[in-house]
Structure 1
Amino acid sequence: MFGSLIRRKPGMTLDQGDPAFDSTTFSLSTTVPRPLERRGDDRVLPTLCIVKLSSDRGDQLMRARNVSAGGMMCEVGREVSVGDKVEIEFNSQKIPSTVIWTRDTTAGFKFDADIDLGEMLAGRKPRHGFRARPPRLDVQCKANVRVGKTYYNCDVHDISLGGMKIEPIEEYCLGKQVVVVVESLRPIKGEVRWFNERKAGIVFDDPLTFEELAEWVGKRLELATLKAAYKR
């Protein structure tokens, strides 16, 4: 599943001149978007929105291709099934939804209740002191964090394309440049932006790509499945 998402099949041609290929399209319709759908009232953003999906099968990040007031079409990293009850985190809001169709690495999600898309899009810009943050995946793994010449062996609590939360670490690290090494990920440079009770938030200088994080999550799931099978 991850391989087909990360490496498109030979022979597939993509119209690089079509901005909808690499941008999220928004529609004022209340119907759930489907493949190859275009509407006259669409509004296109310059980059793809990354949203978080939570279900009984765990969490994953998805790329939103088309969003309407009634649902969205997304690229998924892990398989979902028609009828699955899920929760989609979009612009820091959590939307109960249902999977109503799947095709290859894409799926259609119907919101349990139509959303105010204008209000949702307005939330993309800072207002009244509120800034929507990128969706984060709850994880439990280890990371080596280098601060100057000092190394910390830390627990990772969550990770997003742009940063992670770790502990334990010391308060003097606040504002320091760091290098984070997590198994199966490239070394990541960043800065400690906040500190509280030995927990810290690191913002990456060079954010992870969707493909990098999806592949990393896939490897962790495969390893967990193998360990579970071995214990039986």
Structure 2
Amino acid sequence: MFMEKLTRDAHGVGEAGRLGEDGGNSFRARRFERLDVRCPVRVRIGNRQYAGYLDNASDGGVKVSTGSRIIPACKVIVQIPDLPPLRGELRWSSEREAGVAFPLVDGFHPITDWLARRASADAVRDEE
């Protein structure tokens, strides 16, 4: 399986297992594994604040959804429960969803430990 992925990536085949119309990779491979996470967050994008939910997260960033239309801006701050506010970069946005990437902080991804704690808590709940 690992070798299949390497082969697909080397030949420009996207995550869906097919080439784009131009023969190149129309699907960008993800650098980090995404985990489904559902928790409330506050997001500041530019001068606007949004109440929303974290939909999924990885070491490198998060996907958030909000109840109102997102107006794109370059400065983003995400407030996740049990973490200090995280500065990020808006990578994409649609009507009510956005992807935020987090830079390394002192050589570490800022939410790696939080994701690990969350995963272990979910595993304990699943065993009960």
Structures share a fold, TM > 0.5? yes
Q: 1:92-124, CA deviations, whole angstroms, 9 ceiling, x for partnerless residues?
A: xxx4xxxxxxxxxxxxxxx6xx6374554455x
Quick check: 1:192 aligned with 2:99? no
One-letter code of the match for 1:162? G
Which consecutive aligned stretches of 4+ in structure 1 deviate over 6 angstroms post-superposition? none
Confirm or deny that 1:176 pairs with 2:74. yes
Q: What residue number does 2:15 align with?
A: none
1:194 offset after TM fit, Å? 2.1
Do 1:179 and 1:190's aligned partners in 2 also have CA atoms closer than 8 Å? yes
Does residue 95 of structure 2 align to residue 220 of structure 1?
Answer: no
Name the structure 1 match of 2:60.
Answer: 162
Measure, in 2, the Cα distance between the counterparts of 1:166 and 1:197: 11
Deviation, structure 1 residue 164: 1.2
Q: What is the letter of the counterpart of residue 99 of structure 2? A: G
SS of corresponding position for 2:4: coil
**Preserved CA contact (<8 Å) 2:42 2:79:** yes
Q: Counterparts of 2:118 and 2:5 in 1: how far apart (Å)?
A: 36
Q: Secondary structure at the match of 2:76?
A: strand
Q: Which structure has the highest helix share of the two?
A: 2
Q: TM-score, normalised by structure 2?
A: 0.63
2:29 aligns with 132
Greater share of strand = 1
User: d(CA) in 2 for partners of 1:167 and 1:139?
Assistant: 12
Tell me, in whole angstroms, the C-alpha distance in 1 between the residues paired with 2:5 and 2:36.
28
Kindly provide the amino acid, as one letter, of the partner of residue 199 in structure 1.
E
Match for 2:4: what amino acid?
A: I
Tell me which of the two structures has the higher relative contact order, counting C-alpha pairs closer than 8 angstroms and 6 or more residues apart: 2
Q: How many Å apart are 1:146 and its aligned residue?
A: 1.6
Q: 1:191 & 1:118 partners in 2: Cα distance?
A: 31
The verdict on how the C-alpha distance between 1:149 and 1:210 changes in structure 2, with shifts beyond 3 A counting, is closer
Structure 1 letter corresponding to 2:40: K
What is the RMSD computed on CA atoms of the aligned residues? Answer: 3.2
| Aligned equivalents of 1:167, 1:116: Cα separation in 2 | 30
Distance 1:194 1:132, change over 3 A: same
| Paired AA for residue 137 in structure 1 | L
Cα contact 1:143–1:154 (8 A) shared by 2: yes
Q: Which runs of 5+ in 1 are unaligned?
A: 1-94, 96-110
8 Å contact kept, 1:175–1:193: no
How far apart are residue 180 of structure 1 and its match? 0.7
Flag structure 2 segments of 5+ consecutive residues without an equivalent.
13-22
What is the TM-score when the length of structure 1 is the normalising length?
0.39
- Alignment partner of 1:170: what SS? coil
